[in-house]
Chains A and B, each alone.
Chain A
Amino acid sequence: MEEANRDIKEAYKIECINVSKSYNYGEKTEVKVLDKVNIKAKENEFVVVLGPGQSGKTTLFRLIAGFERPTAGEVYVNDKKVASPNPKIGFVFQKYMLFPWKTVIGNIEMGPKLMGISKKKRREIANYYIKLVGLEGFENYYPNQLSGGMKQRVGIARSYANNADILLLDEPFGQLDAQTRMFMEKEIMRMWNQEKKTVCFVTNNVDEAVFLADRIICLEGKLPGRVNKIYNVDIPRPREFTDIPFIKLREEIKNNMELIL
């Protein structure tokens, strides 16, 4: 049944079809976190999932990454049904999740190391991505010596170094101050332009969404999370927060969000 619904004509990197997810508390109470969510992402597309806190954004990403299975519906990545964590996906965690016992370079070369790539080769790879994310000079720092922005850079480099072609970023800048955040948004654009990947990016910040996205998927404001509206953003890059179309779209989304909430 579901199989038939799939849009075969176009190749998608990520496809979520009528995905629902519930959690059980105790024997009776069941909380529905996601309800019939449909999301598609094409190759090298920058998709932003926009939703307020506690709307199931992290849960959706965990389903795509294969950490958990949906209660109903299907998730396809690279046209294959997701059954287990897939190294083709890079996951940047909301709470960083760097390995505290590894230095910056140790974290970044972890993917190649697991694949059994030689020490010399993986140092090379790691150094290349350290440069890409702008962490030169911090190679031998431990995560607890880094600021939030730097930790997320390590997370991004770790995914890049693992040769992932899909990047899931779960509110990567949620814990940063406004200035660092703006700077990091520009940085992530720079990295993405330098090395294109399919990116899914969670945020609860409308400005951030409009600045980054090819497409914005708005989730509803309360559980269960549902797709409320999808915006295609065709403002040319590089975007400025003061562009007229930028402001117009932002107002439109903001008005819509108020309705949701």
Chain B
Amino acid sequence: MNGREQVKVKNLFWISFLSILILILVWQFIVSSGIVPSTMLDSPLSVIRLFFDKLTNVNPDGATLGAHVLASLQAILLGYLLALLIGIPLGLLMGWYAVIDGLVRPIFELVRPIPPVAWIPLAIFWFGIGMTGKVYIIFIGGLVPAVINAYTGVLMSNPVLIQMAKTYGASKWQIFKTICIPSALPMIFGALQVALAICWTCLVAAELLASDVGLGYLITMGRRLLLPKLVILGMLMLGVTGFIIGYIVDKIERHLVSGLRR
């Protein structure tokens, strides 16, 4: 990269900045000039105003913004951790013990292609509208990548090492514990982000359909009350929260991976 290109990079940054700025200005303009009716879209300014208002105001949807965020966070944390706690050991065992694999895999393969969203009606039926149903959907969503990655990780462990351990007389459980699990770790860490992304989508879907609190519910209420700014606020908060959680999980993953190398 030569000097001239360096200057260009700075220009490009400003172009990106302008691009976002123009997007926002156009948005503001088409709303405040009345080109788009306010039943369809609210201006960025009114969304910002609503944001500060919703920090303390429980109307019109029944909870403050903080309460919605908290409810969503709680659901995703529970579902995500549950998926990891059950999915990873299950995947590891399936990868190592052929009998478990043979028994569990057919059912797993049957469940896998069902999009988590398709579980929502059943979850509503089973658990009613509320936390349990949400967590269940999120759990189902996160389970699949957790199992698959742990399973693949075990399959990828070095056969030479396993052979060596066998000649030293290690038991199947010992080999599993000392060779397979450590070599599956990179794949397992790889599952963290994938599972999170799926869980996040599931959370939104679950809250849209089967919830009485949470960011997804906020969005639904916005639609029912014909308040686009409520919808947009919910979407933006989803984006920001999703970004932050993703960032944190990424940091954790990096930390864990660098711990592996040492």
Contacts and interface: CB of A to CB of B under 8 A. Distances in A.
Contacts of A24: 1-3
Contacts of A23: 2
B100 to A, nearest CB: 35
A238 interface: no
Nearest to B5: A24
Nearest to A26: B6
Interface residues of A, number: 5
A27 B6 CA distance: 7
A2 B97 CA distance: 75
Nearest to A23: B2
Interface string A6-29: 000000000000000001111100
A153 B6 CA distance: 40
Contacts of B3: 24, 26-27
Interface string A199-232: 0000000000000000000000000000000000
Nearest to B6: A27
Contacts, number: 10
B115 to A, nearest CB: 33
A24 B6 CA distance: 10
Q: Identify whether the interface residues of A are mostly helix, strand, loop, or mixed.
A: strand
B2 to A, nearest CB: 4
Interface residues of B, number: 4
A163 to B, nearest CB: 35
Interface in B1-20: 1-3, 6
Interface in A1-59: 23-27
Contacts of B2: 23-24
A23 B3 CA distance: 10
Contacts of B6: 26-27
Nearest to A22: B2
A31 to B, nearest CB: 11
Interface string A54-95: 000000000000000000000000000000000000000000
B60 to A, nearest CB: 54
Contacts of B1: 24-26
Nearest to B7: A27
Interface string B201-219: 0000000000000000000
Contacts of A26: 1, 3, 6
A242 B1 CA distance: 47
Interface string B174-208: 00000000000000000000000000000000000
Nearest to B2: A24
A24 B7 CA distance: 13
A33 to B, nearest CB: 13
A24 B3 CA distance: 7
A73 B241 CA distance: 57
A32 to B, nearest CB: 14
A137 B1 CA distance: 44
A26 B3 CA distance: 6
Interface string B96-136: 00000000000000000000000000000000000000000
A23 B6 CA distance: 13
Nearest to A24: B2
10 contacts: A23-B2, A24-B1, A24-B2, A24-B3, A25-B1, A26-B1, A26-B3, A26-B6, A27-B3, A27-B6
Interface of A: 23-27
Q: Closest 6 A-B residue pairs measured CB to CB?
A: A24-B2, A27-B3, A27-B6, A24-B3, A26-B6, A25-B1
Given A23-B2, A26-B3, A27-B3, 4 more contacts: A24-B1, A24-B2, A24-B3, A26-B6
